[in-house]
Amino acid sequence: MAGILLFNLLLFFVIGVPVAYSMGFASVLAMVEGGLSLQVVIQRIFATLDSFPLMAIPFFILAGNIMEQSGISQRLINLANSIVGRMTGGLGMVTVLTAMFFASISGSSAATTAAIGSILIPAMVKRGFPRPFSTSVQAVSGELGVIIPPSIPMIIFALTAGSAISIGDLFIAGIGPGILISLSLMLTIYVLSKQNGYGLTALSPEERAAEEALTSWRGRVKAFKEAILPLLMPVIILGGIYGGIFTPTEAAAVAMAYAFVLGCFVYRTLKMAQLMEIFRNSVLATAIIMLIIGNAGLLGWVLTAEKVPDLVAEWFVSISDSPLVFLLLVNLLLLLAGMFLETGAAIVITAPILTPVAIQFGIDPIHFGMIMIVNLAVGMVTPPVGVNLFVACQIAGIRIEQILKSMLPFYGVLLLDILIVTYWPQLSLWLPSLLK
């Protein structure tokens, strides 16, 4: 039955059936072949979705959408610009730093790319950065949306990995890799801009005066004051979780309420007419994720019943009993999966299979979760299914093939980051251990 399941799953992927339906149809066909009652289908999907922690997903999505529509992006851009805007390649580094700030609010890679890309890609082009390079910078920066906490893929991993994994620990573990990737991208932008003379277009006297005012100490203090309230959201979320004040699910509800108060009553930039569109987009995004998770629960049940995780573990051990070799093979597998599958779908398919194997190799599940998420985040900027590439190219008005050359240095840096995250576990684990 397992062979039939995997064959049908690959077949549905190849012919273009959506991932959620592919998992559901393949599971049903395998169950029919195995003579199992189809009543189990509804039972397993319902049991998978009947989870209190899953409620955190719609709340975080709603909080991110409210922040995006409240004009928070410009405040975060001003803060980042005041810090690194006058350096070589300044606007490129502003893009990375702003993405890091916005990621701590949205929890979504595509949302991060869209929210700040519409402002910064035109600004970079105007400043003298080539359009393909500007688009590449925005695309790779957006992946921080799923690495910096709070992160929706982290919640999905914690709920599907088949082990008692704390969502709060995953959130905290993402800080180290997130900072590493941010700094490496900023360094790459600096070097490329220095070598190629990017960002040297002369400013008008008015623009020069505005830049000097923003990057002065007084301007930096002003920009920080304007952005401090949005930046408090991750502090409230993580502090509340680790302080025992509320659960991750309750933290998501607090984040949504906090975003609503900021948008409607503090900044007064969120109009009631916008709420219906925000609710609509949030419901659609939540429905898609829940459909994937529900069908993935059914798929995972069939795979477990057929002892596929045990077979996978035996296969890895037959190749090598070294954890280092296992992690290298996992990286290759996840990079390949990220090229063809959406991040959430890739997690719910691979996490229940690979996480128990990783634990058998003595790998901490929190560390393994970060390896999986960082790998699949890179998948968001690799064709053919790189979501961030499509979003950034749509904003910039260019085709994906036009930016692939400018993406090559970033691919090299991201692969190096993956190896560091993989083989330096304390980068992910030191902060959760310290807080405990």
Q: What is the pLDDT of residues 312-356, one digit of tens each?
A: 777 887 888 899 999 999 999 898 888 877 788 788 888 888 998
- Predicted pLDDT at 195: 92
Indicate the pLDDT class of residue 191, thresholds 50, 70 and 90. very high
Label residue 1 by pLDDT band (50, 70, 90). low
Q: What is the mean pLDDT of the chain?
A: 86
pLDDT at residue 202, as a whole number: 66
Segment 246-272 shows an average pLDDT of 87
Q: How confident is the model at residue 134 (pLDDT cuts 50, 70, 90)?
A: very high
Residue 145 near residue 105 (C-beta atoms within 8 A): no
pTM, two decimal places = 0.85
Report pLDDT for 117.
85
Does residue 307 have a pLDDT over 80?
A: no
Q: 213 with 68: CB under 8 angstroms?
A: no
What pLDDT score does 71 carry?
Answer: 77
- Is a pLDDT exceeding 80 seen at residue 236? yes
Across 412-419, average pLDDT: 96
Q: How confident is the model at residue 370 (pLDDT cuts 50, 70, 90)?
A: very high
Residue 282: CB partners within 8 Å, gap ≥ 6?
58, 61, 62, 65
